[in-house]
Amino acid sequence: MKRIVVAIDGSDASLRAAALAHEIAKGLGARLSLVCCLPPVYVPPEAEFQAEYVTAVQHANRDWADGVLRRAREKLGATDVDVEGLAMDGEAARVVAELAGAPDVVLVAVGSRSRGALSRVLLGSVSNRIVHLCEKPVLVVH
């Protein structure tokens, strides 16, 4: 069965991407994989953090991702499209590109927040990186 991967971060743009991908999935009879990525928690080796604090941050990140996925699924509503939510660890563009490499994936959808050129240079753009890393077609929704 065909599958569409959607990068979700809770932004309005990512929710619009999910909604459009959902409509496309209906037409294709495809499944939908909503993916919310959790960035790694970096702790400098010389830092004297206790493991419990790092674990607390990781749990808070997981709870946030689960909430983002739950709200996205609720926004899509009940439907006959098979929708799965995946909270995955790692840098979003790389995780999404890796998932998109699966043979059943026919499309990747991602929202773009339309930041200015300076913000893209300083902060980077997940949608831009996904476009460049994915070998499958990428739908960028503004």
Give residue-wise pLDDT tens across range 52-95: 788 888 999 999 999 999 999 999 998 889 999 999 999 999 99
pLDDT at residue 51, as a whole number: 73
pLDDT at residue 43, as a whole number: 75
CB burial string 32-64: b at 16+ within 10 A, e below: bbbbbbbeeeeeeeeeeeeeeeeeeeeeebeee
Find the mean pLDDT for residues 91-117.
89
In angstroms, the CA 128 to CA 23 distance is: 23
Does residue 36 surpass a pLDDT of 50?
A: yes
Q: Please, what are the domains in the chain? A: 3-141 (3.40.50.620)
pLDDT at residue 122, as a whole number: 38
In the chain, which ranges are continuous DSSP H helix? 12-28, 51-76, 92-100, 117-123, 126-133
User: How many Cβ atoms are within 10 Å of 103's Cβ, its own excluded?
Assistant: 6
Give residue-wise pLDDT tens across range 114-133: 655 444 443 358 999 999 99
pLDDT at residue 49, as a whole number: 64
User: How many Cβ atoms are within 10 Å of 141's Cβ, its own excluded?
Assistant: 18
